[in-house]
Amino acid sequence: MLLTVFCALRDRGETTFALEVSPELELRDFLALCELESGIPAGEIQISHVEQPLRDLTRALGNYGLKDGDVVVLRQAERRPAPQPSFPGLPRIDFSAISVPGTSSNHRSTTQAQNPRAAQTPHAASSPQGLDNPALLRDMLLANPHELSLLKERNPPLAEALLSGDLERFTKVLQEQQQDRAKREQERIRLLTSDPFDLEAQAKIEEDIRQHNIEENMTIAMEEAPESFGQVVMLYINCKVNGHPVKAFVDSGAQMTIMSQACAERCNIMRLVDRRWAGIAKGVGTQKIIGRVHLAQVQIEGDFLPCSFSILEDQPMDMLLGLDMLKRHQCSIDLKKSVLLIGTTGTETRFLPEDLYRTADNTDALDRQLNRALPTQKLQMEKLPHHSPHHSRFTDMFIHQPPPHLPLVLVEVLH
- Please, which residues bridge with residue 60 across strands? 26
324 belongs to the catalytic site: no
Could you tell me which of 310, 286, 291 has the C-alpha nearest to residue 388? Answer: 291
Helix (H) or strand (E) holding 162: helix 156-163
Could you tell me which of 67, 58, 69 has the C-alpha nearest to residue 28? Answer: 58
Close Cβ partners of 267 (under 8 Å, ≥ 6 residues apart): 241, 242, 243, 244, 246, 259, 296
Q: Would you say how long the chain is, in residues?
A: 415
- Alpha helices in 193-266, H assignment, sequence order: 199-224, 261-266
Q: Helix, strand, coil proportions of the chain in percent (round to 5)?
A: 35, 20, 40
Do 21 and 28 meet the contact criterion of CB atoms below 8 Å apart?
no
Do 322 and 248 meet the contact criterion of CB atoms below 8 Å apart?
no
Compute φ and ψ for 304, nearest 5 degrees: -115, 115
Q: What angle do CA 35, 51, 177 make, to 5 degrees?
A: 85
Please tell me which residue in 251, 303, 314, 361 is annotated as part of the active site.
Answer: 251
CB atoms within 10 A of CB 384: 16
- Alpha helices in 309-404, H assignment, sequence order: 323-328, 354-357, 364-371
Q: Are strands 381-382 and 244-250 parallel, antiparallel or unpaired?
A: unpaired
C-alpha distance from residue 124 to each of 3, 128, 328 (Å): 30, 9, 70
Burial class (CB in 10 A: 0-12, 13-18, 19+), 353: exposed
CA 353 to chain centre: 27
- Please, which residues bridge with residue 351 across strands? none
Q: Could you give the residue numbers annotated as active site?
A: 251
